[in-house]
Amino acid sequence: MTDQEEQEDELLALTSIYDEEILTLAKEGDGRGGHLLVYPHLPDHFIVKSVVKKAEKNEENSIEIKEEKSHEIKYLPPLSLSFQLPVDYPSRSPPDFTLACKWLNRKQLTKLCKKLDYTWEENQGSVVLFMWANFLQEELFQFLDISSPLELATVITLRKDSSCLDPRAIQEVASQGQLLPAILEYDKQMKEREFDRSIFTCKVCFSDVVGAKCISFLGCGHIYCSDCMGDYFSVQIQAANVRGLECPEEKCESQAHPSQVKKLVSPELFAKYEKLLLQTCLDTMLDVIYCPRPACQCPVLLDKESNMSVCPNCRFVFCTLCHFTYHGLSPCKLKADGMKKLKEEYEKGDKATRQLLEKRYGRATIKQALEESFSQEWLDKFSKQCPSCGSYIQKIDGCNKMACMKCRAYFCWICMGHLSNSNPYKHYNTEDSPCYNLLFEGVEVDDFDEDDEEWWI
């Protein structure tokens, strides 16, 4: 069998094993290669630990305090294996590859690259991509001697002397401040995806329903299909029984969260639900009100001496009469349907008019009215569109190699050019490229800490 035939068979086998979200093959013209995401198997109850340094000042001097934060997770971001198959692979040459990861340092990634090279040397003449992927998935933690808790570095640095590090080893996050949030956000997204793809039996209609069409009550974890709960919530709201939106399980008193109710009922019913809920709270608890922000809705204790209250959760200062930003002694004249009118009046007004509106309604309220109408302007200013599908993408961490979550295309955040699926980092390693050596351009990198040097060798 020729090298070309073996390459075709190997890629065909990989596509039958991995779906398109995990394996992306190079397009015609880019040669034979691709991009493979490898998800290492985590032990149960896996912990990640981060040490955060804080400086506190007193009257005499400044004291550095180290605070440890531990989080139990179920998923870690995958390793990214980009490969290109030479024409004489597998008879003579190994695949060209790069190995990237957020939560492994370059020393560890270098060790993995050498292990992949050694695997090829032991099996020269045979295809090795599946062997590589299987090793990274099943044996990575044992090979690198990683166990729970996984202690993240206090700083992430770029060593002055990197000659001992493999250029194929790429760390995709440049700052410790970005690493822990990135891991926790990925774990959250994957848990939601796992729930959406799982099958549950609704205890109301006894049908097997996919999780994407179910809701789980936050207080108890009981799961029901969205159709049953949507009908149940609608009947209760129409009957003005907003306290009846609780888990149907016998003797269970968990209440549905307003955000869950909003997803399952019509906008008209949800508006009625909000009004009834607020009124019920005020009728039964005269000294308590809910924070007006829909995403918060935390109970707030009323100040009996004034109409001002401060939400203890989101720190929103609001008027207890009109539920908008606190406006002092000014009368409550602004209603929900007046936000658009206020925005237009403020934009068209002269300096004196604007000062009058700010005094009347408060700067925070005017700011809110302006921000609600500037969503598109915000997108244009703080995000970019994927060059393949046009989806808006905001970059919050990591390097300038971007991956669209919608169409899986790779592109450069700097020049917005398409990147090769088989080797996206070639764009930053080729001298004639407009973005040569700019993989981390514009990314804040923490200062080098001599105490942590050995960890990153």
Q: pLDDT truncated to tens, each residue of the chain (457 aa)?
A: 788 999 999 999 999 999 888 999 988 776 788 999 999 988 888 888 887 665 555 556 666 666 778 888 899 999 999 999 999 999 999 999 999 998 888 889 999 999 999 999 999 889 999 999 999 999 999 999 888 888 876 435 445 456 688 899 988 876 667 788 888 888 988 888 888 889 999 989 999 999 999 999 888 889 999 999 999 999 999 988 887 788 988 888 888 888 889 999 999 999 998 888 877 765 566 577 778 888 888 878 877 777 788 999 999 998 876 777 887 776 555 554 566 677 777 788 888 888 777 765 667 667 766 665 666 567 777 788 888 888 888 887 778 888 888 788 889 998 998 888 888 888 988 888 999 888 888 776 554 454 544 444 3
pLDDT value of position 450: 46
Rounded Cα–Cα distance for residues 372 and 383 (Å): 17
pLDDT value of position 336: 47
**Helix, strand, coil percentages in the chain from 3-state DSSP, rounded to 5:** 35, 20, 45
Rounded Cα–Cα distance for residues 121 and 134 (Å): 17
Which residues are CB-neighbours of 147 under 8 A, at least 6 positions away?
A: 43, 141
Alpha helices (H) in 349-454, listed in sequence order: 351-361, 363-372, 375-382, 426-429
Distances in Å between the alpha carbon of 265 and those of 44, 178, 277, 286?
Answer: 37, 37, 15, 28
CATH topology of domain 3-175: Ubiquitin Conjugating Enzyme (3.10.110)
Exposure letters 214-230 (e unless 16+ CB within 10 A, then b):
bbbbeeeeebbbbbbbb
- Domain ranges across the chain: 3-175, 184-284
| DSSP summary character for residue 42 | P
Rounded Cα–Cα distance for residues 177 and 155 (Å): 8
> Model's pTM, two decimal places?
0.56
Number of H helices, E strands in the chain: 13, 20
Q: Provide the CATH number for the domain formed by 184-284 in this structure.
A: 3.30.40.10
* Annotated catalytic residue 399: yes
Question: Which residue in 399, 407, 412, 415 is the catalytic one?
Answer: 399
Rounded Cα–Cα distance for residues 266 and 269 (Å): 5
pLDDT value of position 155: 39
Residue type, 116: L
* 64 three-state secondary structure: strand
